[in-house]
């Protein structure tokens, strides 16, 4: 009996260029996501010259800049990093909702692997936990997901 065909992505940086788009809002958290992602990508073999880092004001601006980068087709993958932390008004829900919708739309409309490293937390403690402490580093996880998806996409 024939075996099934399995397609999976190798975590290999050879020949790839990626862009990281990082929000400045809550930069004490987002900078940890950026550092974690850069560290991870370099461990996978990326040359720093093949990584472009773009800073944007906040999570709400992530989709526009990711979309523009996707349109230019210079990057094999895009990594969106940010941290939205709930306050006492509905602002959080609007920012998160539009950011998620816009990023998902960009990925699908442009067929570009987009690592989703946007923290959406109720408290600052939750954000700290996810930015390189108790709950890992979501910047690293999103970078790994982007790299794996790049390699899967090119095989199908
Ligand atoms: N942007 C964030 O990235 N995180 C937040 O927690 C946040 N809060 O809470 O307001 C936030 N707001 C700014 C928003 O993303 C835009 O930059 C701003 O509204 C200007 O367009």
Per-residue tens of pLDDT for the chain, all 156 residues: 789 999 988 888 989 999 999 999 999 999 999 999 999 999 999 999 999 999 999 999 999 999 999 999 999 999 999 999 998 888 898 999 999 999 999 999 999 999 999 999 999 999 999 999 888 999 999 999 999 999 999 999
Catalytic residue among 68, 74, 91, 101: 91
Q: Which residues contact 57 (CB under 8 A, 6 or more apart)?
A: 23, 24, 25
What pLDDT was estimated at residue 146? 97
Give me the pLDDT at residue 44, please: 94
Please confirm, yes or no, whether 91 is among the known catalytic residues.
yes
**Scanning the structure block, which residue is given the tokens 């290999």?**
12
Q: What is the pTM of this model?
A: 0.96
Atom of ligand 1 nearest to the CA of 30: 3
Distance between CA 116 and CA 66 in Å, rounded? 11
Please give the Cα distance from 28 to 24 (Å, whole number): 9
Q: How far is CA 1 from CA 4, 9, 43, 98, in A?
A: 9, 25, 39, 49
C-alpha–C-alpha distance, residues 122 and 133, integer Å:
17
- In this structure, what token pair is assigned to residue 122? 């109720």
Ligand 1, CB cutoff 6 Å, lining residues = 23, 25-26, 57-61, 82-85, 87, 91-92, 95
């Amino acid at each position: 009996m024939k075996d099934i065909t399995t397609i999976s992505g190798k975590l290999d940086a050879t020949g790839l260029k990626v862009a990281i788009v990082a929000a400045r809002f809550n930069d004490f958290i987002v900078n940890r996501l950026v550092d974690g992602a850069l560290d991870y990508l370099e461990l996978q073999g990326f040359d720093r010259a093949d990584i472009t880092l773009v800073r944007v004001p906040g999570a709400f601006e992530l989709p526009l800049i990711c979309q523009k980068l996707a349109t230019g087709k210079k990057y094999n993958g895009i990594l969106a990093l940010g941290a939205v932390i709930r306050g006492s008004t509905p602002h959080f829900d609007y920012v998160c909702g539009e950011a998620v919708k816009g990023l998902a739309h960009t990925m699908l409309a442009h067929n570009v692997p987009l690592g989703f490293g946007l923290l959406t937390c109720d408290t600052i403690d939750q954000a700290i936990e996810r930015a390189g402490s108790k709950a890992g580093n979501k910047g690293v996880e999103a970078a790994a997901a982007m790299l794996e998806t790049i390699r899967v996409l090119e095989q199908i």
